[in-house]
Amino acid sequence: MSRLMPTKLLHSTLLVILIAAVAPSLVMAAARHQSTEFAATLEIYAEGVEVRRAETEQWIAVTGRAVVAAGDSIRTDATGEAMIIWFDDGTLVELRPNTEIVINAFNGDPDGDQFIIETQVLLGQVFNNVAHLINQDSRYTVVTPTMQAAVRGTTFGIDVQADAQSTIAVGAGIVAVSQGEDEQQVEAGFWLRASVPVQTALAPSAPATDSESTADSPPDDGGEVESLVVVALSDPLPFSEAGDDPILNDLIAGVAQTCAGTIDSPSSSPVRVYNFPAESAGLVGTAALDQPIEILAQLADGSWVEVAWNGEIGWLPNQNARLDEACRANLPIVTGESPLPIPLRMQ
């Protein structure tokens, strides 16, 4: 999640993760919709997060919660962690420490469910959770070095090293990863790596002496240097073949780590799910005893937990969420500020 990659490298080879069928008709279809710029919610899990606003040079430290939009850059230091929540259906991206990304685009049709999200990962680890896309014109794009991938709804982690090596691990769904004409289908439980582009230069030969010259000598090429960029895209391999590779083990742990829980109610009555952690808050709905939930985060004092529930993000009092204590101990800490519309519509 030096922090910046060489500009020349970023421009030469990019990883694009496209959510939707990749076809020329995508661009034409998207153009038919009225496009509105949106903004997302940036939740800070651990201090050490900075934002650089579009068309500015200054990095600003942020805590708690912030709003981010197209053109903004977000980076975390050695302790910082954050999450960008795109939609309240659980479509989000987590930024781990020592990560930097840029939001290239976040827009869509305000009267429908079509959207375009594009982020660029410069360095570090990100974990994406993308809800199944109903609108075939929607695209979710991640740009990093050396690969291209396409999915329709999945959970996957990406790691980008300082030398631009890119690794992807898929926890759910299928990701089509490609580099040039080489394409691989990466299923859940598999990983793939694209090596760093290697610049190979053929140095000019020293001019031959008269005694070395023969009729069979090749013609002088004038000392020109030929350049060749080589990108190696590995075959998908199962998680069991990650070995002791620390990058892969981090990614696998990230995509496999879920905090599944169930609704608990001492009185067996329906449990209220709120839109922020206070009983005076608005209701997202009600949940029945033993209903499955995915728990995303918690307040620092553990009194409330943030959950993905019935296609939305909500809050439950701690006593109404039954989950494994080991998982609870590792939940991210958030501030639980008053909710913002997700996504925000830029005026």
Q: Please write the tens of the pLDDT for every residue from 330-345.
A: 777 777 776 777 788 7
Give mean pLDDT, residues 216-232.
51
More confident of the two residues 265 and 198: 265
pLDDT value at position 113?
78
For the cut 60, the answer to whether the pLDDT of residue 240 exceeds it is: yes
For the cut 90, the answer to whether the pLDDT of residue 38 exceeds it is: yes
For the cut 70, the answer to whether the pLDDT of residue 225 exceeds it is: no
For the cut 90, the answer to whether the pLDDT of residue 174 exceeds it is: no
**Beta bridge pairs of residue 201:** 227
When the pLDDT of each residue in the chain is averaged and rounded to a whole number, the result is: 78
Q: What is the pTM for the complete model shown?
A: 0.72
pLDDT value at position 230?
55
For the cut 70, the answer to whether the pLDDT of residue 44 exceeds it is: yes
Q: What is the pLDDT of residues 86-111, one digit of tens each?
A: 987 778 999 999 999 999 999 988 77
Place of tokens 């033993």: 290
Distances from the Cα of 299 to the Cαs of 80, 92, 195, 304, in angstroms? 17, 19, 40, 6
pLDDT value at position 347?
55
pLDDT value at position 142?
85
Give mean pLDDT, residues 19-42.
58
pLDDT value at position 192?
92
Q: In a 3-state reduction of DSSP, which class is residue 327?
A: helix
Smallest Cα–Cα separation from 292: which of 269, 270, 314, 323? 323
Chain centroid to CA 2: how far?
Answer: 21
pLDDT value at position 332?
75
Residues above pLDDT 90, as percent of the chain: 32
Q: 135 is written with which tokens?
A: 């609108």
pLDDT value at position 327?
79
pLDDT value at position 20?
39
- Residues near 82 by beta carbon (within 8 Å), at least 6 away in sequence: 1, 42, 43, 44, 45, 49, 74, 76, 94, 95
For the cut 60, the answer to whether the pLDDT of residue 226 exceeds it is: no
Residues above pLDDT 70, as percent of the chain: 76
Distances from the Cα of 335 to the Cαs of 27, 44, 46, 338, in angstroms? 39, 8, 10, 9
Q: Is the peptide bond before 343 cis (omega within 30 degrees of 0)?
A: yes
User: 7-197+233-256 — its CATH code?
Assistant: 2.60.120.1440
What is the DSSP pairing of strand 182-187 with strand 174-179?
antiparallel
pLDDT value at position 200?
47
Helix and strand numbers (H, E) in the chain are 4, 28
83 neighbors 89 (Cβ within 8 angstroms) = no
Smallest Cα–Cα separation from 76: which of 248, 296, 332? 332
pLDDT value at position 82?
94
Q: In a 3-state reduction of DSSP, which class is residue 240?
A: helix
pLDDT value at position 342?
78
For the cut 60, the answer to whether the pLDDT of residue 56 exceeds it is: yes
pLDDT value at position 28?
39
Chain centroid to CA 44: how far?
Answer: 16
Q: What is the pLDDT of residues 73-87, one digit of tens each?
A: 999 999 999 999 998
| Ranges of each domain in the chain | 7-197+233-256, 260-329
Q: What is the pLDDT of residues 271-330, one digit of tens each?
A: 999 988 889 888 989 998 898 888 888 888 889 998 877 767 789 999 999 988 877 887
Integer distance in angstroms from the first to the last C-alpha of the chain?
30
Give mean pLDDT, residues 146-162.
83
Q: Determine the Cα–Cα distance for residues 48 and 52; give it in Å rounded to an integer.
A: 14
pLDDT value at position 258?
62
pLDDT value at position 220?
52
Q: 198 is written with which tokens?
A: 């290697």
260-329: CATH topology is SH3 type barrels. (2.30.30)
Long-range contacts of residues 129-134, Cβ cutoff 8 Å, at least 24 apart: 129/90, 129/91, 129/92, 129/93, 129/155, 130/19, 130/91, 130/154, 130/155, 131/87, 131/89, 131/90, 131/91, 131/311, 133/19, 133/20
59 neighbors 33 (Cβ within 8 angstroms) = no
pLDDT value at position 211?
52
